[in-house]
Structure 1
Amino acid sequence: MMQSKQRLVLIGNGMAGMSVVEQIVQLNPNLYEITVIGEEPYPNYNRIQLSYVLEGSKTIDDIILNDKAWYQEHNITLLTGTAVERIDTDRKELHTDAGQRIPYDQAIVATGSKPIRLPIPGADKQGVMGFRDIRDCETMLEAAKTYRSAVVIGGGLLGLEAASGLKKLGMDVTVVHLADWLMERQLDGPAAAMLKAELEKQGLRFLLSTKTAEILGAERVTGLRFADGTELEADLVIMAAGIAPNTSVAKSSGLEVRRGIVVNDYMQTSAPDVYAVGECNEHNGVCYGLVAPLYEQGAVLAKRLCGQPVEPYQGSDVYTKLKISGVDVFSAGEHMEQQGDEVIRVQDHWKNKYKKLILRDRKVVGSVLFGDVQESSRVTKWVKAKETMTESLYDAFVGHADPVTNDPLAFAAALPDDEIVCGCNGVTKHMIMQAVTEKGLTTVDEVKACTGATRSCGGCKPMVENILKLTLGEKFQASAKTQEAICGCTDKTRDEVVAAIRSLRLMHVKEVMNVLGWTQPEGCTKCRPALNYYIGMVWPDQHEDEKASRFVNERLHANIQKDGTFSVIPRMYGGVTTPEQLRKIADVADKYQVKLVKVTGGQRLDLVGVRKEDLPSVWEELGMPSGYGYAKALRTVKTCVGSTYCRFGTQDSLGMGVYLEKKLERLWMPAKFKMAVNGCPRNCAEADVKDLGIIGNDGGWEIHVGGNGGIKLRGADLLCKVKTDEELEEITCAFIQYYRENGKYGERTSDWIERIGIQQAIQAVVEDQQNRQALKERLEQALAGLQDPWQEAAQSEQLRHDLYEEVQVK
């Protein structure tokens, strides 16, 4: 008689608990009948990347680790939006808030942590919240649409991430911190001061050594009063003063709880067959709040539950390698020296780098790095092993020797096989090389899927790629598979798909899927829009745009909002408008009860809160072309008034900006594309953080490319300098066409330029004049297939026609 599977129930659908489940299904997929219960309405997601969702650079779908299909594939029952109230350890069953009783043979409590809510008067007012889950993100995003000033209480990692996200949403943000410097648990004074200076450049304000005494306001917060009697206005307050283990289920179930749920070296709680893993537990008196220790605990528990030999968990060496608002920071072991310790410190104000080693009895016990963390793997090993300081270690750290530091491949080769490369998931160099060799992996994404490396914070991705290159050797360069497939429906890369479209003259999305053997006949939301773009890019004269393959925002010519309404952005060429246009916008806003009229960063007006059924009429009455605020196309051309009006202007930036925007609007590209034209080097239009930025000077123009002002802040590279307007237009058009033909769908120019290198772009569109002219001609051919960009009425008519087809008004 076949023995039935044991019943394993996981309480909590977060990263720590799900790491245990993932390892169990790899170690012994037939051992357990698994049920996962989560309070949030989402499958397992990457909590580390919530700040990206907050600032808008990633969506909720982007940070999902295991989608619902994954649970189904592994025969795992997933209950979302469900809370466990208690565990009946005698009957071995769980009681949920929905009245369910779920039996178990083994249960894992992985309820994580909750933000600490400071016990100060007014903490319960509207507009006061924590920052811990997607719901918090959504609340903050909604608040940013209405309110302007935000205060974050807490200058640790979580607080700085929240502050940076709110700042990118356009809010005025002040961070209030009780300690003398930021991130005092990870950084020393000098590193924290450098971090503060960098964040102040980004527009954040700080009040250090400041204690909040009261939150002001009637029902909703209006400000804060501090212990010294001073006050600060605030519309939104984020409490990020720390986290505490979420032990409510354990307490109601009679488990032993101190600060966290008490566990032994195998994550066993005080109750038989009940385990606890992650931020909710307490091991040897320690509660961990970082990701790496939680995965180390999970690895021990997974093997224990599968009956495999495993060494007991002995605690974790705490180290942190993070990117905060574009700044790299790292600390391992002790970050503050004690009396009698020796310190090796290197500080470079010119390149804004800082590094420190702490020695106790000549042994390395701690380190802090700021600005450049490529040595973090080596330093982590020194701290863990408490290496004795030697001349060679000293020379390697301060940079007097060790040439491998400047050679990424040599540096990867020098790492010991047992070196942990991905601290978040406990993946060593040997594990990566073994997976690449035994399973034929050729891309970082494949390594991630197989080993988990790069899956969480992503900070180890460069090292993983270098280990991949090291392992494959010449095969890395020779294999077309070093490029990732465009989606999970195919093994074809972007270049293979485009080559097939050209050589086989494929004209339709489904035709491409059929000919190239798509595993999913209808494709997916990732590949359909990409194929539609690639076909149009290759065959601009013959391709008929397939609206069904476009995202809803592009089909409706508006951005869908959280509440189901839409945001409408009419185009204002170069940021210039007229009284007539403003009157139309005001009339439409009144007539259709628009919730908000917002001045955008691209010098336009955004009508937020338009109902879907009103979209055709709104566009008809505006009589203006769409600003394509939703499209993978030219969004805006930001300008200053230039020589036409400004006493500092040397070039007609206004005229050039308007001309280029009218020429290039509605030209589809791999990703959204932003431009700026400045009339002088004062750079008022911020050309240095645009996909293509133009700066005028006395001798002509400078063209800068590959900038990005979003989450991955990147200064643009100088492409070239030109003397005439004709040269400017030709090289601008050639660069855009080169990007259109070679960029991956969804790849911003900032990532594309980093991938191909600025020298390749310079050679293709500046130095090779024959190629430049050919690129310009192909762009003109693509433009010719569009309506006359100067005919706004024609654009408006086409817009209304598209919308009436899409929106069925009853």
Structure 2
Amino acid sequence: MNLKAESNQKTKNNTMKNIIIIGNSAAGVAAAESIRTQDSKSKIVMVSDEPYFAYCRCLISNYLSGSIEEKKLTYRDEKFYSDNRIELLLDKKVERVDVKKKKIVLAEKQELLYDSLIIATGAHASMPKDLKGTNKRGAFGFRTIKDTNDILELLPMSHTSCVLGGGLIGLKAAYGLKKRGQDVKVVVRSGRILSQVADDKAAGLLLSRFQENGIEVLLNTGVSEIIGNGDVKAIKLENGKVIGTSIVVVGKGVTSNTKLVRDSDVKIDWGISVDEYMRTNIDNIYAAGDVAQGYDLTTNSSQVNALWPVAVEQGKIAGANVCGASLKSKGSFGMNSVEFFGLPLISMGVFEGDYETLVYYNKEKQVYRKLVIDKGRIIGTLLLGDIANSGLYFHLIKEKADISKIQDDLLDTNLSYARISDFVRQDEKIYI
């Protein structure tokens, strides 16, 4: 998104504002950068409950697997904050937001006043309330650098690791643990993996790839308890079987961090409700990233799309609008990109339902490509094994383009730009 092209305006007065950003990841950093392109004078205070400079959360599985070092996760260092005159408060938890007095209250009871507030608190790993033993040493979520370091600390004492959940978080953890030499068992309550990002066909192909690489996946299996006297020793399945383990990673999705506004008048559902300007229902309070619930343009509903690029775009919009701009979001949609054991997957938008579909499958090459079409426009795509044209499909979904005239050519991996030039804006770079 080009802020200058879409906004082309600075803060209209020289009034110094006191801007607080809660959160120091994709949305929070993008908001701060956006503010500084519009306003060089106002005070920015950024509060984070983690002790780290901004790091790429979506790469912690690479850190777990050993393919990158911890220091490579950092994408904004100390110099960034000083150069942009950002007062950074690390390892500080915001307890609540007082919207009437326009202040935030930290856990240490310190109070900070704001003129404008951007909530970019992200999300946390979900722990099932009915699962016993999640507080034992050796039971982890998989969301932060600390989670990863705690897991790595136990690896030398562990031979078997168990992962609860067959979604992206769980499978990324399983992949990383396998790369570290662990005997990995994935326990999935439902009948398939990746139910939120892939259809039955794609999920089945990926399941086979995991099994071929020595990861045992137990489908239709629940866990009743994590066993151990302080430290994790085993998990007990609902069928009574006990599996010995020292490490249990609970990959049961994430929950938006809305607790700080639950006792306020800020409207929340799954996340904090925002409009296309990233405004909440309270004046001068914005939300962006994994905590924000806004318009999903593929389902025409309000959703939390907890994705890095969505967080960055929403942060940019919130930051600009705090400074008096009027940038609007066109909406977001679910989108994931991952590779397991040499098999890449890209999933966007809606991939199941009573819609028209275009499908290509090559069993020998392990290639599966699917487009989901509703009323002449693409609302979703699955690309497994061959991810060619993913940038084009992303653009066509986001622009809600009428693809009826080129529909028969869309799965062709050799699709030329000339063939679809009428359907893309000339000022955008489209990867096909």
Normalising by structure 1, we get a TM-score of 0.48
Asked whether the 8 Å contact 1:85–1:95 carries over to 2, the reply is yes
Kindly indicate whether residue 314 of structure 2 is the aligned counterpart of residue 288 of structure 1. Answer: no
Match of 1:367 among 374, 381, 385: 381
Match of 2:166 among 155, 177, 192: 155
**Structure 1 CA distance, aligned partners of 2:17 and 2:73?**
31
Kindly indicate whether residue 348 of structure 2 is the aligned counterpart of residue 332 of structure 1. Answer: yes
Alignment deviations for residues 138-196 of structure 1 (CA, whole Å, 9 cap, x no partner): 00100112111111111111111111111112211111112222211111111111112
RMSD: 2.6
Asked whether the 8 Å contact 1:293–1:318 carries over to 2, the reply is no
User: Structure 1: where are the runs of 5+ without partners?
Assistant: 420-427, 431-462, 467-810
Highest CA radius of gyration, 1 or 2?
1
| 3-state SS of paired residue (2:313) | helix
Structure number with higher helix proportion? 1
- Cα deviation, residue 111, structure 1: 1.0
Paired position in structure 2 for 1:81: 91
Alignment deviations for residues 216-270 of structure 1 (CA, whole Å, 9 cap, x no partner): 2332222222223333222111111111111121125553333222333322234
Aligned-partner residue type, residue 5 of structure 1 = M
Match of 1:416 among 409, 414, 424: 424
**Structure 1 CA distance, aligned partners of 2:28 and 2:110?**
21
Paired position in structure 1 for 2:370: 356
- Equivalent runs, 1:267-282 vs 2, <5 Å: 267-282=278-293
Match of 2:63 among 40, 53, 56: 53
**Structure 2 CA distance, aligned partners of 1:271 and 1:413?**
43
Is 55-64 or 127-136 further displaced after alignment? 55-64
Match of 1:241 among 230, 252, 257: 252
Asked whether the 8 Å contact 1:153–1:241 carries over to 2, the reply is yes
Kindly indicate whether residue 48 of structure 2 is the aligned counterpart of residue 8 of structure 1. Answer: no
Paired position in structure 1 for 2:134: 123
CA distance change for structure 1 residues 255 and 363 in 2, over 3 Å: closer, same or farther? closer
Alignment deviations for residues 26-81 of structure 1 (CA, whole Å, 9 cap, x no partner): 2x241421111111111111101111111222222211111011111111111111
Paired position in structure 1 for 2:402: 387
- Equivalent runs, 1:155-234 vs 2, <5 Å: 155-234=166-245
Asked whether the 8 Å contact 2:227–2:233 carries over to 1, the reply is yes
- Cα deviation, residue 412, structure 1: 11
Percent identical among aligned pairs is 28
CA distance change for structure 1 residues 415 and 327 in 2, over 3 Å: closer, same or farther? farther
Asked whether the 8 Å contact 2:118–2:318 carries over to 1, the reply is no
Asked whether the 8 Å contact 2:277–2:327 carries over to 1, the reply is no
- Equivalent runs, 1:335-734 vs 2, <5 Å: 335-338=351-354, 341-361=355-375, 363-384=377-398, 385=400, 387-390=402-405, 392-398=406-412, 402=415, 404=416, 416-417=424-425, 428-429=428-429
| 3-state SS of paired residue (2:82) | helix
Match of 1:307 among 320, 324, 346: 324
Asked whether the 8 Å contact 2:53–2:77 carries over to 1, the reply is yes
| 3-state SS of paired residue (1:221) | coil
Paired position in structure 2 for 1:107: 117
- Cα deviation, residue 95, structure 1: 2.1
**Structure 2 CA distance, aligned partners of 1:361 and 1:257?**
32
**Structure 2 CA distance, aligned partners of 1:411 and 1:395?**
9
- Cα deviation, residue 314, structure 1: 4.8
Q: How many residues align?
A: 412
**Structure 2 CA distance, aligned partners of 1:362 and 1:257?**
34
**Structure 1 CA distance, aligned partners of 2:46 and 2:168?**
29
Aligned-partner residue type, residue 209 of structure 1 = N
**Structure 2 CA distance, aligned partners of 1:413 and 1:372?**
22
| 3-state SS of paired residue (1:279) | helix
**Structure 2 CA distance, aligned partners of 1:252 and 1:223?**
39
Asked whether the 8 Å contact 1:378–1:415 carries over to 2, the reply is no
| 3-state SS of paired residue (1:150) | strand
**Structure 1 CA distance, aligned partners of 2:86 and 2:419?**
41
Paired position in structure 2 for 1:664: none
CA distance change for structure 1 residues 235 and 92 in 2, over 3 Å: closer, same or farther? same
Is 250-259 or 106-115 further displaced after alignment? 250-259
Paired position in structure 1 for 2:47: 37
Paired position in structure 1 for 2:7: none
Is 263-272 or 201-210 further displaced after alignment? 263-272
Asked whether the 8 Å contact 1:364–1:389 carries over to 2, the reply is no
| 3-state SS of paired residue (2:233) | strand
User: Structure 2: where are the runs of 5+ without partners?
Assistant: 1-12, 296-301
- Cα deviation, residue 198, structure 1: 1.9
Aligned-partner residue type, residue 305 of structure 2 = Y
- Cα deviation, residue 371, structure 1: 0.8
**Structure 2 CA distance, aligned partners of 1:162 and 1:305?**
37
Structure number with higher strand proportion? 2
- Cα deviation, residue 362, structure 1: 5.4
Alignment deviations for residues 574-629 of structure 1 (CA, whole Å, 9 cap, x no partner): xxxxxxxxxxxxxxxxxxxxxxxxxxxxxxxxxxxxxxxxxxxxxxxxxxxxxxxx
**Structure 1 CA distance, aligned partners of 2:429 and 2:401?**
21
CA distance change for structure 1 residues 145 and 253 in 2, over 3 Å: closer, same or farther? farther
| 3-state SS of paired residue (1:397) | coil
**Structure 1 CA distance, aligned partners of 2:212 and 2:137?**
31
